A and B are shown apart, each in its own frame.
Chain A
Amino acid sequence: MARPFPDHERYRLLSAWCDGTLSDSQMDRLDELLRTDPEFRSFYLEYMDQHAVLAADGLPVGNPLLTDRRPRSGGREVADSETDGRVRPGRESRSGRSRRGPRSWHRWSVAAAALLLIGLTAWLRPAGRRETPTVARPPLWVARPGLAPAGGFAVVVQLDQAEWQPGEGQMPSEGDILAASRLVLCSGRMTLALLSGVTLTIEGPADLELLTMDRVHCRRGKLRARVPAGAEGFVVSSPGSAVVDLGTEFALNIAGDGQARMMVFEGEAEAAVLNASGSPLRSQQVTESHAIAIDPRVGQIEKATARADEFITASVLVAPPLPLGASYRSAVMEARPWGYWRFEAIERGTTGSEVAGRPPLRATGPVHLAVAGDGNRCAEFGPGGAEQYLEMDGLWSPPATPGYAVELWFLSGRIGQSALASLIETGPTSDDYKHLFLIELTASDRQSLFPPGSVRFLHRWPPGDWGGDNMFSSRYYVPNRWHHVVAQRNGGRMELYLDGAPTESGSPRPDVESATEACRLLVGRLKPVPGPKGGVHARAFVGRIDELALYDRPLSADEIRRHFGLGALWGGSPGP
């Protein structure tokens, strides 16, 4: 908590903040107070809203004080171009750019609206700013609301100061899913998650063609690919050469004349120079910590000195916050959950339920708590393949009537098939665990028909190790972004909501079951340890999970929207 401050200091501090005249130490003080003092934050929000109302609205509409008087000095009007050239305490104008005339912003806003209305693509900024970026008309690949465009296979996970070449290729935003398309990046970086699980980082200047989720063509640029198990065979082609990944991480620098340098950081890859018909003329396998130089002009591949600093680094994905406050907890508790875990603390290896008398969740492996923003914490499942999950220290019998609901927030660190939460039958052991319920994330898998990049809801009655009914979200999930999911049985029908929106595809025909089963709840893994012999038992989740709630009834659409809205408005994903 910051040291207490006198009343007059806070007014002085915020008035100076409004005018841009804070010193460095004052800025530090302001930030410290905001981070640590809820009472000061409340004061800040009210004070700054007053400043915002005056600045955004001018004087309130209809106020007789609103005149067109111009400032006068010595009987003459003072033009905006005049400066006093005298003492300027602090830095009053942060931008240093020429100011607009009075109320020009209002005329601009209306003009901008008109530009949008008539579909113009040019967007002018006042003189003195950076070169005008262009705003393309909504790309044709933005097909249906909330749905991936036909053939979409690459999710834009992160853009770092990305500047696109106007008029050349697409200009996507974070969260967009791309189909086959061209991307011309003038500068900055882009991180893509392909639905196969491949993570691709590109640094501009780069000219890249996304062909399929297994192949990209790079005319020039620097890129780095991480290819998880199951996605081997990912190919990066360039003029006269190609690299195929054999399960690894590699980086590739491609010059405009086709010359390239490649380094393998983990695993193995194969590089080839191609003949005129695109077939390999000469090839070379490259193992970990080795590099090669490719010159397709002379059909040459040579070993090169491996210098990691010559290649781009892997993107560091900073998890966005999910600052769910007291209002979110209240909303969930109003819905009367059977159990509700917020992951705020771990004591003696367990994290307790907000609902009195309900069992805690016990941690196995290195799953730990992380700060999700604003004092809110979440469960974090790190990468690395360690066996880790949370299991409820007790049983739950999800009612057959009127139904049940499972709700949680998740942030996945990747596109990959991974279990979020599952209900497993308890009772006599057999060859395998028997599931009654499962929520998991999907990825492209040649041995599966599941749509990739979706949230899958499985319900099996009676509990078993195969079969059951599936629902898949019609919206995709975006790595490194918070999503809200509710999977529930409602009067025998399955319902799946992602980010407040119901899945539109028809759920399987209603079941007439009336019985239930006491089940173990598992979070972050398909089956507990020890796993059964053979078969799949991990589908380990990598990422963060928060606000897990179980209900003895289905939630209403309004309740779901409200819960999602509380997270989305001030911290969660803006929407799919």
Chain B
Amino acid sequence: MAQSSSAGQDTERFVRLFVEGQREVLRYILALVPDVEDAHEILQETAVDLWKKFDRYDPAFPFVPWACRFALLRVLKFRQQESRRCRCLSLEAITQLAADRSDKDELLEDRRRALAACLKHLSESERLMVEQRYSQQMSVAKIALASERNVFTLYKALERVRRRLFECVHRRLELGTNR
């Protein structure tokens, strides 16, 4: 009975930590594997790995970085297994990115806060496109069909919106207005 109670507590603790941290882990994966479906599949595999190894998790360490290490391994496995189906970054590129990312946590957090403000500066049509592409996960082809626009034009428009957001965030951080 004591053993099952302890196991139940572990389960609850794991679920709480994972639910709290899964978005950050998903973001970590998406930066290396931009396709949302693939990233979710990798997140699924990562969750299984984390559960299997949860008894080795040391609460003195933050959960997300520990989880991201497993996610990185799953990204590398994904790359190995799916290299024929999809275009993937090389092993060297992925490991370089993983190493560089360790110094960027604070900056990326600042950028995320600035992004929320910058989204408000988009035009109506730009905001709709971002919502369709990201929130509703519509393909560009479907957005083109729905909006009766040329698909190439939409790709260009997305590129411009992403750049505008990126540069807006950069300016806000430079001006120190991200409070």
Interface residues of A (CB under 8 A from B): 11-12, 14-22, 24, 27, 30-31, 34-35, 38, 41-42, 44-60, 63, 65-67, 69-74, 78, 80, 82-84, 86-89, 92-97, 99-100, 102-103, 105, 108-110, 112-113, 116-117, 119, 123, 125, 129, 135, 138, 142, 144-146, 161, 173, 175, 321, 323-327, 373-374, 376, 500-501, 561, 565-566, 568-571, 574-576
Cα distance A53–B112 in the bound complex, in angstroms: 7
Cα distance A295–B113 in the bound complex, in angstroms: 71
| Chain A residue contacts of B34, Cβ below 8 A | 17-20, 48, 51-52, 55
| Chain A residue contacts of B120, Cβ below 8 A | 63, 65
Query: Quick check: B102 and A109 within 8 Å, CB to CB?
Result: no
Query: Quick check: B119 and A94 within 8 Å, CB to CB?
Result: no
| Chain A residue contacts of B127, Cβ below 8 A | 65
**B57, B137, B140: the one within 8 Å of A102 (CB):** B137
Cα distance A225–B73 in the bound complex, in angstroms: 27
A-B contact pairs, 24 of them (CB 8 A): A17-B34, A20-B35, A34-B90, A45-B101, A46-B104, A49-B31, A53-B115, A59-B134, A59-B135, A63-B116, A69-B131, A70-B136, A73-B148, A82-B142, A86-B151, A100-B37, A116-B47, A161-B81, A173-B52, A325-B103, A327-B102, A374-B95, A570-B102, A575-B58
Q: Is B171 an interface position by the 8 A CB rule?
A: no
Can you name 5 extra interface pairs (CB under 8 A) apart from A49-B108, A55-B137? A22-B87, A78-B145, A86-B141, A99-B137, A574-B73
Q: For chains A and B in complex, what number of residue pairs have CB atoms within 8 angstroms? A: 296
Given A11-B162, A22-B87, A73-B145: A574 and B70 interface contact (C-beta under 8 Å): yes
| Chain A residue contacts of B66, Cβ below 8 A | 568-569, 574-575
| Chain A residue contacts of B19, Cβ below 8 A | 109-110, 113
Cα distance A48–B86 in the bound complex, in angstroms: 18
Given A35-B96, A327-B102: A45 and B22 interface contact (C-beta under 8 Å): no
8 tightest CB-CB pairs across the interface, nearest first? A323-B99, A71-B146, A52-B30, A58-B135, A15-B159, A94-B86, A34-B93, A52-B27
| Chain B residue contacts of A24, Cβ below 8 A | 87
**B12, B48, B98, B146: the one within 8 Å of A571 (CB):** B98
**B11, B132, B135: the one within 8 Å of A119 (CB):** B11
Query: Quick check: B95 and A561 within 8 Å, CB to CB?
Result: no
**B68, B85, B163: the one within 8 Å of A11 (CB):** B163
Cα distance A321–B54 in the bound complex, in angstroms: 23
Given A102-B137, A374-B99: A49 and B111 interface contact (C-beta under 8 Å): yes
Interface residues of B (CB under 8 A from A): 11-12, 14-15, 18-19, 22-23, 26-32, 34-41, 43-44, 47-49, 51-58, 60-61, 65-66, 68-70, 72-73, 81, 85-87, 89-90, 92-93, 95-104, 107-108, 111-112, 115-116, 119-120, 127-128, 130-148, 151-152, 155, 158-159, 162-163, 165-166, 169
| Chain A residue contacts of B103, Cβ below 8 A | 325-327
Cα distance A100–B151 in the bound complex, in angstroms: 21
Given A50-B111, A59-B130, A109-B19: A569 and B162 interface contact (C-beta under 8 Å): no
Q: How far is the CB of B159 from chain A (nearest CB, A)?
A: 4
Query: Quick check: A94 and B38 within 8 Å, CB to CB?
Result: yes
Query: Quick check: B44 and A112 within 8 Å, CB to CB?
Result: yes
Query: Quick check: A116 and B119 within 8 Å, CB to CB?
Result: no
Query: Quick check: B100 and A142 within 8 Å, CB to CB?
Result: no
**A73, A93, A501: the one within 8 Å of B139 (CB):** A93
Residue of B nearest to A59 (CB): B135
Query: Quick check: A59 and B57 within 8 Å, CB to CB?
Result: no
| Chain B residue contacts of A102, Cβ below 8 A | 135-137
